[in-house]
Homo-oligomer: A and B are copies of this chain.
């Protein structure tokens, strides 16, 4: 199998693409930069959605839906926002096709030109804050805690399956508050929700912190983020939570009468994660044998492969396999029984290994005789033989073990690949030879950050807010620095 696709060592980028394709997660489409998310890939996204949606609802949020289209003029209202997104907007200019007068299919009907062009949402702050103006009059109308599951479009020039595509799926929370304090608390709370999800469902440890000005969301006062480390030593921003201050309320004239009777602008947050997380999941855990999935997000947690050579064996073996299937299903385990006779057991073993199914069970005629089952765990590839009456319990334990093991493996990897750099030479050397996160002092200026990026392609991933400060000197300029920040090359 290794011959058919790249290893991480040979070609990390090709390894990633091979997994996406061969595991049936996604493929490129006829439309530039847009992908087709295939059933197995979409099933992972659905599991992510399910877990996140519950977390959002448990923290008091409700879902709603706002238009795909944003009038062009809305974009100009918030200066930083338009600056940030104008260059990657898909624009609808017409609303009708007609038959080509020359008989070659259809052409755009020039008579059906829109008075004002519509932008396909790259993010929905503008259309939502235009709507919130209708919803908010008094402090009694606050807070508004709304989330939207939607598709968005950002016309990226360089795209990559899941990680960066012209259209992607995401959720975007948009909340409105009476006070700055409450909006900030919401911003932190949702970052915590994302970190919780990344660590406890995706089994990926993340750093939490705030972005530098250069990396801030266009229109935000502060952008908070979680950052994960991939196996090639590059960082991946896995979620952002923005404190928007009163920027959008001012741009869209959204005011409320306070308890004290004064008229105030509303405070805002927005926060989102996207199908990019599927890319992060693949890159964080998978190995040279294919995809590796944490049990909590695996569409199939356990697969049963019956092994038989003739019809007599089939009946016995598959009979036993069905009993096992029922027993596992009754425990709420997502189990699949693959009793197809069009494929051999060896092919099936490879297939489910490649697809990252956490636990594989094999039953042959001898197992039936001896009352045993062979278990294989995907994370370590270890096998064991378990007696039939203990299988269900063992699978349950294994699924928990694998979830923890993947997290710990990723945490060890991150710890081993987080280094302090105190000189510019050291900084560059670590980047070239090892990658990973670099904790270094920075003088706090956008200029220095920009020069470091130009010289090394490394950016400030975040300024940690949960650690002790330690004064020092900027690794690049030598100017004074109040604390270390985290640098890395990033996706």
State whether B108 touches A91 (Cβ < 8 A): yes
Roughly how many angstroms separate A72 CA and B106 CA in the complex, as a whole number?
A: 7
A167: Cβ under 8 A from any B Cβ = yes
State whether A96 touches B105 (Cβ < 8 A): no
User: Using Cβ atoms and an 8 Å threshold, which residues of chain B touch A70?
Assistant: 31
A30: Cβ under 8 A from any B Cβ = yes
Roughly how many angstroms separate A96 CA and B36 CA in the complex, as a whole number?
A: 23
Map CB proximity to B onto A102-133 as digits: 1 under 8 Å, 0 otherwise: 00011110000000011110000001001100
User: Using Cβ atoms and an 8 Å threshold, which residues of chain B touch A342?
Assistant: 140
Expressed in whole angstroms, the minimum distance between the Cβ of A75 and any Cβ of chain B is 6
Q: Which residue of B lies closest to A98 (CB)?
A: B86
Roughly how many angstroms separate A345 CA and B265 CA in the complex, as a whole number?
A: 31
User: Using Cβ atoms and an 8 Å threshold, which residues of chain B touch A31?
Assistant: 67, 69-71, 118, 127
A95: Cβ under 8 A from any B Cβ = yes
Within 8 A of B (CB), among A39-57: 39, 42-43, 45-46
Q: Which residue of B lies closest to A140 (CB)?
A: B342
A38: Cβ under 8 A from any B Cβ = yes
User: Using Cβ atoms and an 8 Å threshold, which residues of chain B touch A66?
Assistant: 29, 36
State whether B96 touches A39 (Cβ < 8 A): no
User: Using Cβ atoms and an 8 Å threshold, which residues of chain B touch A82?
Assistant: 97, 105-106
Select which of B42, B127, B140, B151 is within 8 A of A151 by beta carbon. B151
**Count, chain A residues at interface, CB 8 A:** 65
Expressed in whole angstroms, the minimum distance between the Cβ of A47 and any Cβ of chain B is 11
A62: Cβ under 8 A from any B Cβ = yes
User: Using Cβ atoms and an 8 Å threshold, which residues of chain B touch A118?
Assistant: 31, 90
Within 8 A of B (CB), among A15-65: 27, 29-31, 34-39, 42-43, 45-46, 62-65
User: Using Cβ atoms and an 8 Å threshold, which residues of chain B touch A404?
Assistant: none
Q: Which residue of B lies closest to A275 (CB)?
A: B65
Roughly how many angstroms separate A31 CA and B91 CA in the complex, as a whole number?
A: 14
Roughly how many angstroms separate A150 CA and B167 CA in the complex, as a whole number?
A: 13
Select which of B75, B140, B153 is within 8 A of A106 by beta carbon. B75
Select which of B37, B67, B68 is within 8 A of A65 by beta carbon. B37
State whether A120 touches B96 (Cβ < 8 A): no
A155: Cβ under 8 A from any B Cβ = yes
State whether B94 touches A91 (Cβ < 8 A): yes
State whether B89 touches A96 (Cβ < 8 A): yes
List 7 tightest A-B contacts by C-beta distance, closest first.
A76-B105, A34-B67, A39-B62, A86-B97, A37-B65, A95-B155, A91-B94
Listed A/B pairs (26) with beta-carbon separation below 8 Å? A27-B134, A29-B131, A30-B127, A30-B130, A35-B67, A36-B67, A36-B131, A37-B64, A37-B65, A38-B64, A42-B62, A42-B64, A42-B65, A46-B63, A68-B120, A69-B167, A72-B107, A76-B106, A86-B96, A86-B98, A86-B99, A87-B97, A91-B94, A91-B96, A92-B93, A97-B119
A interface residue numbers (CB < 8 A to B): 27, 29-31, 34-39, 42-43, 45-46, 62-76, 82, 86-99, 105-108, 117-120, 127, 130-131, 134, 140, 146, 150-151, 153, 155, 167, 169, 342
